[in-house]
Amino acid sequence: MLVAVASTLVFAGIIWATVINTPGWASVQQSFFDPEVALQALPKVWDGFLINLQVLGLSVITVALVALLVAVLRTLRGPVFFPVRVIAAGYTDLLRGFPFIIVLYLVGFGLPTITNTRMPVVLLGVIAVTLTYSAYVAEVIRAGIEAVHPSQRLAARALGLGHVQTLRRVVLPQALRKMTPPLMNDFISMQKDVGLISILGAMDAIAGARSVASLTYNFTPYVVAGILFVLLAIPTIRLTDWYTARLREREQAGAIL
């Protein structure tokens, strides 16, 4: 413990000294870490950030619903459901391959054009995020469902549980544990990607930063926006690590018994 603290302090000191003494640090500090500009930018960036949060919050719900539906459609058996499975599989293949920014352009500019209506940017953002992330999340859910041993399904059916009851009472609760770490990783990516809605003209955190940056000829507002996104992500990242470690512990404990 003491060694770790001492080593960390020494290491931090060396880095600090190196950075400070690097030629050009002063100008870097001025254009990226100017406290005055940061203070000036914060209210605008924060207001924009709330729009990002709005898109994120709504998308979490829509992605959960759409992804669960797609995943369940993909796991339906029997020849009758072949076309449904193909459509669901095609959707996940396509949207996981598509760069998010293209989806964003197609939805954000394309959708209002073909429908010839003005649509709120938040709505367009939510649609784009949902289209892309549902594909990823559906695959995670499907993998989780398929990772539950078939004997569990068999035992549930033997008790007389129907298909939906089996899924709800036996398969999904177990799949959820296996899915949680990858789902949280997708959630972290999603937290960052909602920042891209600024290209649709949304006055979000990044657009807010851009407007302050262009007034001050300083990049600090972008750093401020970046820090907000990092602060948003850190709890999820820590929670993921904690949960994954706990799962590993439980599995090891189970293996001994």
Partner 1 sequence: MTTPAPAPLLRASGLWKAFGEREVLRGIDLDLAQHEVVALIGASGSGKSTLLRCLNLLEPIDDGQIFLGDVDISDPRADANAIRARFGAVFQSYNLFPHLSVLDNVTLASRVVHRMPRREAEDRGRELLARVGLVDKAKEHPDRLSGGQQQRAAIVRAIATDPEVLLLDEITSALDPELVGEVLELVRELVGDGATILMATHEMGFARDVADRVVFLDDGLIVEQGPPAQLFTAPQHARTREFLARFTA
Residues that bind partner 1 (CB under 8 A): 151-152, 154-162, 165, 169-170, 173-174, 177, 254, 257
Question: In the bound complex, what is the minimum distance in angstroms from residue 172's beta carbon to partner 1?
Answer: 10
The amino acid sitting at 129 is: V
Question: In the bound complex, what is the minimum distance in angstroms from residue 70's beta carbon to partner 1?
Answer: 24
Question: Looking at beta carbons only, is 129 or 171 nearer to partner 1?
Answer: 171
Alpha helices in 98-204 (DSSP H): 100-105, 111-115, 121-147, 150-158, 163-166, 172-193
What distance in Å separates the CA atoms of residue 126 and residue 147, rounded to the nearest whole number?
30
Question: Looking at beta carbons only, is 23 or 160 nearer to partner 1?
Answer: 160
In terms of Cβ atoms closer than 10 Å to its own Cβ (0-12, 13-18, 19+), residue 46 is middle
What distance in Å separates the CA atoms of residue 85 and residue 194, rounded to the nearest whole number?
29
What distance in Å separates the CA atoms of residue 206 and residue 104, rounded to the nearest whole number?
16
The amino acid sitting at 17 is: A
Question: In the bound complex, what is the minimum distance in angstroms from residue 169's beta carbon to partner 1?
Answer: 6
What distance in Å separates the CA atoms of residue 112 and residue 34, rounded to the nearest whole number?
39
Question: In the bound complex, what is the minimum distance in angstroms from residue 22's beta carbon to partner 1?
Answer: 55
